[in-house]
Amino acid sequence: MRADRPSTTARLIAAATVFLSRDPRYRDLVPPGAAELCARFVSVEAVSRAPLSWAVWLAERATIPGLMLHFMLRKRFIEDTVRASLAAGCEQVVVVGAGFDTLAARLAAEFPQARFIEIDHPATQAAKRVAIDERRNLELIAANLAEERLQDALAGGAYRRDAPSVFVIEGLLMYLTDAQIAVLFAAIAELQRAPGTLVFTVMEPASDGRPRFHNATLRARYLAPSGRQALPLADGEMVLVAERIARP
C-alpha cells in the first residue's frame, strides 16, 4: 500500500459491503450500520452507478466467484465469535490490521462497558477518524506493524493485559512471512495474560505453495438456512478460533 492512502484491499471490501447492502439477495447478510460506515470511509457513489458496479461483479466472476460474499460471511462469523466472547465476560476487543472494518465502531456503541481498540496503518486510521464518532471506549491506534512491535503499539493506551480479551486478525496473515506471523502470535501470547480468544483467518496453501481459498462452514451456517446455498461463494479461506484458558 502507499504510505499516504489506505490499502486497495480496505477500499475494495468497504465498497463490497455497500454493494451487497443494496442487492436484495444479500442485504440481510450485511450487519446493521456496516454499509453506512463503509460509505463514509470511502467515496463509493461513483463506483455504485450501475455500469461500474456491474463491472465490479464481472471482474469478480473472472477471478474468484463469490469473493465479495465470502468477505461478508467471514465478517459475520467473526462478529458472532466476538459477540459470544462479550456475552461471556470479555472486557476488551483488539482488531489488528483493521482496515475499513466496522466491527469495533459498531459494537463500541452497543457494549459501552467494554473497550475496543483498532490498530492499523496511519493512512487508514486517519480516514476512519474523520468518519467515526469518537467514543470513550473506542481507541484507534495508528501504527505500521511492519516497523513497530504490537506490544509497543498498545503500550500507554487503553489496553489492559489483565483483562479478558479478544484479538481479531482478519485478512492479514496472507501478507506476512512465516517469521512475521510467529512474531505477531508471540506478541499476542505475551499481551494476553488473562483468559481470552484469538479469531483469525488463514488460507490453506495449494500444492504449489500458493494460498488458495478453501472454506467449508460459512455456506452451511449463513446461506443454507435461507435456501441460498447455491449462491456462488469463494472457498479456501478458513476462520479459526483459539481460546486461552486461565492458568492455575
Q: Out of 43-52, 86-95, 122-131, 217-226, which region has the weakest mean confidence (pLDDT)?
A: 43-52
Percent share of the chain, pLDDT over 90: 50
Confidence (pLDDT) at 51:
43
Q: Quote the pTM value.
A: 0.87
Residue linked to cell 470479555: 90
Q: Out of 59-68, 121-130, 196-205, 238-247, which region has the weakest mean confidence (pLDDT)?
A: 59-68
Looking at every residue in the chain, the average pLDDT score rounds to 84
Instruction: Identify each DSSP E strand in 49-195 by its residue range.
Output: 92-96, 115-120, 138-142, 165-169
Q: Which string of b and e fits 19-52 if b means at least 16 CB within 10 Å?
A: bbbeeeebeebbbeebbebbbbbbebeebeeeee
Helix, strand, or coil (residue 174) = helix
Q: Is 190 within 8 Å of 151 (Cβ atoms)? A: yes
Confidence (pLDDT) at 247:
58
- Grid coordinates representing 202 are 488463514
| Cα end-to-end distance, the chain, whole Å | 44
Locate the domains of the chain by residue range: 8-63, 67-244
Percent share of the chain, pLDDT over 70: 83
Overall CATH class of domain 67-244: alpha beta
What residues contact 121, with CB distance under 8 A and at least 6 apart? 1, 6, 7, 142, 143, 144
* Closest residue by Cα to residue 67 from 235, 236, 234, 238: 234
- Grid coordinates representing 151 are 506490544
Q: Is residue 60's pLDDT more than 70?
A: no
| Sign of the torsion angle spanned by Cα atoms 92, 18, 61, 73 | positive
Express each pLDDT in 7-54 by its tens digit.
777 888 888 888 889 889 899 999 999 999 998 887 644 444 444 455
What residues contact 50, with CB distance under 8 A and at least 6 apart? none
Express each pLDDT in 135-163 by its tens digit.
899 999 999 888 889 999 999 878 999 99
